[in-house]
């Protein structure tokens, strides 16, 4: 497993050409060209070197990747999608381990080395999703790091029995307490959030809550999340995913909420949706809020789009936020790399000596060009091991 | 030039497998597999066949494609971008013929067979852009059809001398009268629109006006365009590009404007911007308005994004309009194919027998999957000739 690799002629973040020496799964040196030969040589051919992408919000357990094309059949609302998904799951059979493996392999091929996946828990599927993704996580440990959010997709309080299942999932090994739409779906914001924060306290785990609620309703739920984070000393341990309400027109209210998020060190996960209000990424970053990015569902009953490419996500973040300057496009890439690493609490993430050797090589004259073109022939190193060469898996993934 | 091609195992629009026989630059037959052998055989391997993409709004003359990466340096506003562009043009030298050739070749490789390009005219560049793109158009005639809009990018009335240059461009061979932002840039909506419609009348040409103006200002300009279209009998000959104002919150006003556009057969061109208000594509189509799609600038001083891929544009149209069902994603593809063909007045466009043999083969189980994945290894036939094979140009382009 522990190999020594010498990557020649790579350009960290699109800067000057460098040699990157990797030993025992870590970056041993990043230096101007000319390091003494050691280990297996890889000629990057002037490609950019970036730390492995961090897919900080996805749903590995329910993708249809590799199952043939299934036309989207859900109605437009969130509740429509939840109901439709339960129906689709019954009809076509989505084996979580197999499906999570397929999508994780695709993400890896696109340069992602770390994944936070929400995994459905409800009274119908029980813990099958959690167990499947845990099995996949164990098997794929050498090539990708996966963090599991115990996610009550069909509601927590509104479906009796779900809370106990989430509790068991956390005991089993899911690392993060999930939640969603305390008002709009669960119809009981106090009950929902007390339960979510209660589980976090009981298990000593962080929280990641889906918040699709828009406008003042979403702001109300967000405010209740902020209150609990402060009261329970959960600063730096809470992420809010989507947070569409931060795209509402009342910018004074939005600015107050963003200041509160920064103060309580609550992070945001965004897909940068083009058809929904969304947090303004630059405004959030400037206020000191950590922002990470994610594909959300990839080819599942929620969303037909996506190839699990975080460089494409960086483009979508850029387009959504009108990022045109190179330094702004670099912010979009930062969301899809370091932002996710902060949310996942990766201590040794980056391209400096001493960091874990998780990196991706992709052609491009500049970081911005790599985002604009998104070449798919990437080379990926995971913990010092060459796992993807020119877009193709170089290791077996069962 | 006139070859006979037999494409085996292609699926028109993602439907059942078919043989497509091409003779003398036209589709001679589309039939279930089993046509008698004739001409050069191409095995499409089950790929989708689509009519060649129509890039209905771009700026070939000022792309920086192939000139190395130039960081974006413009301020956020439209006027900032106009001023910055004039500066960049002076500093780095953008040869219109060479640059238009490079971008047209890239677009062709991605499956585009028809392009409507706005080409800058102002008192500094004069007609150099028009002449350059006309030269390129003549040279590339065998592989791509290009229509030129005489476009007063820096203002028409506000820069004396520009009107006369646009007049000369139309006499030289530009097919369409361009305009932009009658209020916000030209500061004289009556003067601007009287001039644009006057040139259209004088030369017997259609019109395509950039309208970035938002909200009520844009609605006012749009209303003046509608008035003149009706008064001058220009129905079916006017396109409004961008029309951000149709994304304004006052939906009753928007619906009235859309009904007026439909009545006067005024078409819309959209990029489906994620960071600006935009026309709701389905609402416009349902009202009977023709909608076409475009990349707008590709890697120029306005926009660093883009690879000239209309399948990527279809994805962006889909994402912007929350199109998730296959039939909705098909609408996005229609915007990027038949919508553009209607705007460009292409009489023999399509995949039926008798149509011009302009088509693209792209892998995908369904049309929606092709949009989601956008494989880049496409095969393109232009006027019956194999011009791109697996994403690489198969003919010389000087």
Q: Which residues of A touch B377 (CB under 8 A)?
A: none
* From B321, B329, B365, residue closest to A68, measured CB to CB: B365
* From B72, B321, B324, residue closest to A326, measured CB to CB: B72
Residues of B with CB under 8 A from a CB of A: 68-69, 71-74, 76, 272-276, 299, 303-307, 315-316, 318-322, 324-326, 329, 365-366, 368-369, 371-373, 376
For residue B252, the enclosing domain spans 53-343
Q: Are residues A152 and A275 in the same domain?
A: yes
Burial B288-300 (b: 16+ CB within 10 A, else e): ebbbbbbbbbbbb
Model confidence at B342: pLDDT above 80 = yes
**Where are the strands (E) in chain B, listed by range?**
5-12, 18-23, 26-31, 40-43, 48-51, 53-58, 112-120, 145-151, 176-180, 207-211, 238-242, 266-270, 291-293, 359-362, 379-382, 385-389, 392-393
**CATH code, domain with A14:** 2.30.40.10
Mean pLDDT for the stretch of residues B32-43: 96
In a domain, B398, yes or no: no
Domain boundary among B305, B321, B343: B343
In a domain, A73, yes or no: yes
**CATH code, domain with B265:** 3.20.20.140
For A288, the token pair is 């000191």
Lowest mean per-residue pLDDT among A54-58, A352-356, B85-89, B101-105: B85-89
Residues A101-135: pLDDT tens digits?
Answer: 999 999 999 999 999 999 999 999 999 999 999 99
Task: Check CB contact under 8 Å for A305 and B326.
Answer: no
Specify whether the CB–CB gap between A100 and A136 falls below 8 A: yes
Q: Are residues B42 and B103 in the same domain?
A: no
Chain B closest-CA separation from residue A64 CA (Å): 12
Instruction: Look at residue A259 in the predicted model and tell me its pLDDT.
Output: 98
Mean pLDDT for the stretch of residues B233-244: 98
Model confidence at B3: pLDDT above 90 = no
Sequential DSSP letters for B262-312: HHTTEEEEE---SSS----HHHHHHTT--EEE--BSSSSSS-----S-HHH
Q: Which residues of A touch B316 (CB under 8 A)?
A: 274, 319
Instruction: Look at residue A2 in the predicted model and tell me its pLDDT.
Output: 58
Specify whether the CB–CB gap between A310 and A335 falls below 8 A: no
Q: Which residues of A touch B68 (CB under 8 A)?
A: 365
In a domain, A214, yes or no: yes
For A90, the token pair is 């019954």
Q: Which residues of B touch A250 (CB under 8 A)?
A: none
In a domain, B368, yes or no: yes
Chain B closest-CA separation from residue A69 CA (Å): 6
Q: Which residues of A touch B275 (CB under 8 A)?
A: 319-322
* From A72, A320, A371, residue closest to B324, measured CB to CB: A72
* From A303, A307, A369, residue closest to B324, measured CB to CB: A303
Residues B92-110: pLDDT tens digits?
Answer: 889 999 999 999 999 999 9
Residues A134-180: pLDDT tens digits?
Answer: 999 999 999 999 999 999 999 999 999 999 999 999 999 999 999 99
Chain-centroid distance, C-alpha A393 = 21
Model confidence at B29: pLDDT above 90 = yes
Instruction: Look at residue B2 in the predicted model and tell me its pLDDT.
Output: 58
User: Please, what is the average pLDDT of chain B?
Assistant: 96
Instruction: Look at residue B182 in the predicted model and tell me its pLDDT.
Output: 97
Model confidence at A398: pLDDT above 80 = no
Angle at the Cα of A356 from the Cα atoms of A355 and A358, rounded to 5 degrees:
120
CB pairs under 8 A between A and B: 86
Q: Are residues B162 and B282 in the same domain?
A: yes
Q: Which residues of B touch A72 (CB under 8 A)?
A: 324-326, 368
Task: Check CB contact under 8 Å for A305 and B319.
Answer: yes
Q: Are residues A16 and A108 in the same domain?
A: no
**Number of structural domains, chain B?**
2
Q: Are residues A264 and A368 in the same domain?
A: no
Optimal mutation site among A274, A301, A326, A378, interface B, most CBs of chain B within 10 A: A274
Optimal mutation site among A14, A314, A372, interface B, most CBs of chain B within 10 A: A372
Chain B closest-CA separation from residue A240 CA (Å): 22
Residues A62-98: pLDDT tens digits?
Answer: 999 999 999 988 888 888 888 888 888 888 889 999 9
Q: Which residues of B touch A247 (CB under 8 A)?
A: none
Q: Are residues B99 and B212 in the same domain?
A: yes
In a domain, B89, yes or no: yes
Instruction: Look at residue B90 in the predicted model and tell me its pLDDT.
Output: 83
Chain B closest-CA separation from residue A373 CA (Å): 6
In a domain, A396, yes or no: no
Q: Which residues of A touch B315 (CB under 8 A)?
A: 305
Residues A282-318: pLDDT tens digits?
Answer: 999 999 999 999 999 999 999 999 999 999 999 999 9
Q: Are residues B165 and B244 in the same domain?
A: yes
Report how far residue B136's alpha carbon sits from residue B145's, in angstroms, rounded to the nearest whole number.
Answer: 11
For B187, the token pair is 């500061």
CB neighbours of residue B73 within 10 Å:
16
Query: Tell me, what DSSP letter sits at residue B338?
Result: I
Q: Are residues B66 and B196 in the same domain?
A: yes
B359-362 vs B48-51, strand pairing mode: antiparallel
Q: Are residues B45 and B93 in the same domain?
A: no
Q: Are residues A275 and A359 in the same domain?
A: no
Helical H segments across chain A, by residue range: 78-92, 96-109, 128-139, 162-172, 189-203, 215-231, 251-263, 281-286, 310-320, 326-334, 340-343, 367-373
Residue A229: burial class (beta carbons within 10 Å; 0-12, 13-18, 19+): buried
In a domain, B14, yes or no: yes
Instruction: Look at residue A331 in the predicted model and tell me its pLDDT.
Output: 98
β-partners of residue B359 are: B51, B381
Q: Are residues A252 and A209 in the same domain?
A: yes
Helical H segments across A305-379, by residue range: 310-320, 326-334, 340-343, 367-373
Q: Are residues B19 and B126 in the same domain?
A: no
Task: Tell me the whole-structure pTM to 2 decimals.
Answer: 0.97
Chain B closest-CA separation from residue A73 CA (Å): 6
Instruction: Look at residue A299 in the predicted model and tell me its pLDDT.
Output: 97
* From B69, B307, B320, residue closest to A274, measured CB to CB: B320
User: Please, what is the average pLDDT of chain A?
Assistant: 96
Task: Check CB contact under 8 Å for B274 and A320.
Answer: yes
Q: Which residues of A touch B74 (CB under 8 A)?
A: 324
Residues A175-200: pLDDT tens digits?
Answer: 999 999 999 999 999 999 999 999 99
Specify whether the CB–CB gap between B52 and B382 falls below 8 A: yes
Instruction: Look at residue A90 in the predicted model and tell me its pLDDT.
Output: 83
């Amino acid at each position: 497993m522990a190999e020594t690799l010498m990557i020649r002629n790579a350009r960290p973040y699109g800067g000057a050409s460098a040699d990157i020496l990797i030993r025992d799964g870590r970056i041993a040196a990043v230096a101007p060209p000319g390091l003494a030969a050691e280990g297996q040589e890889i000629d990057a051919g002037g490609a950019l070197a970036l730390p492995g992408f961090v897919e900080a919000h996805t749903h590995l357990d329910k993708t249809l990747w590799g199952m043939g094309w299934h036309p989207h059949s859900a109605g437009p609302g969130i509740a429509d999608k939840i109901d439709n998904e339960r129906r689709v799951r019954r009809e076509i059979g989505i084996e979580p381990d197999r499906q999570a493996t397929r999508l994780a392999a695709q993400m890896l091929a696109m340069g992602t080395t770390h994944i936070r996946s929400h995994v459905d828990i409800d009274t119908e599927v029980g813990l099958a999703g959690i167990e499947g993704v845990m099995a996949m996580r164990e098997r794929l440990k050498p090539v990708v790091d996966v963090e599991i959010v115990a996610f009550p997709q069909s509601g927590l309080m509104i479906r009796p029995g779900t809370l106990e299942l989430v509790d068991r999932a956390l005991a089993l090994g899911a690392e993060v307490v999930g939640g969603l739409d305390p008002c709009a779906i669960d119809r009981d914001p106090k009950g929902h959030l007390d339960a979510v924060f209660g589980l976090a306290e009981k298990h000593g785990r962080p929280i990641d809550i889906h918040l699709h609620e828009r406008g003042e309703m979403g702001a109300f739920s967000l405010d209740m999340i902020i209150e609990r984070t402060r009261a329970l000393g959960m600063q730096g341990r809470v992420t809010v995913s989507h947070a569409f309400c931060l795209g509402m027109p009342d910018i004074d209210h939005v600015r107050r909420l963003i200041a509160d998020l920064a103060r309580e060190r609550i992070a945001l996960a965004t897909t940068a949706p083009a058809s929904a209000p969304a947090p303004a990424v630059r405004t959030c970053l400037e206020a000191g809020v950590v922002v990470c990015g994610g594909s959300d569902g990839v080819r599942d009953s929620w969303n037909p789009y996506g190839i699990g490419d975080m460089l494409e996500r960086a483009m979508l973040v850029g387009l959504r936020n009108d990022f045109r300057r190179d330094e702004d496009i670099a912010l979009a890439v930062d969301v899809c790399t370091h932002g996710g690493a902060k949310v996942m609490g990766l201590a040794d993430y980056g391209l400096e000596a001493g960091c874990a050797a998780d990196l991706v090589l992709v052609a491009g004259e500049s970081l911005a060009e790599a985002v604009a073109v998104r070449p798919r022939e990437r080379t990926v190193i995971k913990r010092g091991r060459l796992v993807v060469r020119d877009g193709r898996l170089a290791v077996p993934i069962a």
